[in-house]
Amino acid sequence: MTEPCDDDWPTVLAIGAAAASLAAFAHEAAGHAIGCLLVGGRVMLLTSINFRCQGATWVTDAAGPIGNLLPAVGALVLLRLRTAWTAPARLFLVMLGGINLFWFAGQMMYSAALETEDLWFVARALAWPRSWRVLASVIGVAAYAIGIHELARAARALIVPGQRSAALRRRIGVAYLGAAASAVIAGLLWAGDPLGSALNGLLAVGVAPIAFWLVVMRAQRLGPCQDETKPIARSTFWLIVSLAIFLAFAATQGRGIGPSA
């Protein structure tokens, strides 16, 4: 079996870093920060993985997971509606959808198990009965299952005919590495608690989306679906755009925004 040329790993790493940065922006800034402002609160701290709001309500807490869920659904819909994506664009949508959805799913299950984080704050504020933990766990498991099913369909189109099965694992794995590394680096930039932020970033982007490996396994079982799929070549466009996203994110949220930064 012949092995076409490998992917351009800097491009793949950069795509993963951009997807992770946008996912953290979606949760903390587009989610919690907007939720804070909507209830008349004041943003006191906004970092890559931490948020504090003066005057927060349960709306502020709920806005974070919603901030992840919306772009996840958007990415899955785009992958469903259109099949003619370039390989870098498809990889970006797979990573963006997966990181956001698995972050949402992982937090549902984590909140239910340990009674902490966003959903627990919502449950406490609204005096939900204890059964909310069961429902949250079910939602988390369902989100993982839907994500694995849908992303595996999309990842099939990243399989290059003629390549060994390890090629897709490397492609997704390198993007996953770029995502996790970028979350750790961004966390380290906040002087208030660099190690704690780095660890929380790793949990959100490196641990919660561990289901990517099940996505790869399922996609490999399904096999390639596009004969014209090519390896991910060096892309100046994706390198510039992805690095710009990560650097802008690191320089703002990474370093911290707000009076408590």
* Total count of domains within the chain: 1
State mean pLDDT over 40-44. Answer: 98
Indicate if the pLDDT at residue 36 is higher than 90.
yes
Position 259 in a domain: no
Position 3 in a domain: no
pLDDT score of 227: 65
Position 261 in a domain: no
Percent of the chain exceeding pLDDT 90 equals 89
Q: Residue 10 belongs to what H/E stretch? A: helix 9-24
Decide: pTM greater than 0.75: yes
Q: How many Å apart are CA 63 and CA 68, to the nearest integer? A: 9
Position 26 in a domain: yes
Q: Residue 194 belongs to what H/E stretch? A: helix 194-201
3-state secondary structure of 95: helix
Position 238 in a domain: yes
Domain of 120, in residue numbers: 9-254
Contact 238, 9 (CB under 8 A): no
Indicate if the pLDDT at residue 3 is higher than 70.
no
What sign does the dihedral 241-25-185-213 (CA atoms) show?
negative
Position 106 in a domain: yes
Length of the chain: 261
Q: How many Å apart are CA 109 and CA 207, to the nearest integer? A: 13
**pLDDT tens per residue, range 177-206:** 999 999 999 999 999 999 999 999 999 999
207, two tokens: 């641990």
Q: Residue 45 belongs to what H/E stretch? A: strand 42-46
pLDDT score of 111: 96
Indicate if the pLDDT at residue 1 is higher than 60.
no
Please give the DSSP secondary-structure letter assigned to residue 7: P
Please give the DSSP secondary-structure letter assigned to residue 192: T
**pLDDT tens per residue, range 88-138:** 999 999 999 999 999 999 999 999 999 999 999 999 999 999 999 999 999
State mean pLDDT over 43-50. Answer: 98
Position 25 in a domain: yes
Average pLDDT value over all residues in the chain: 94
Position 4 in a domain: no
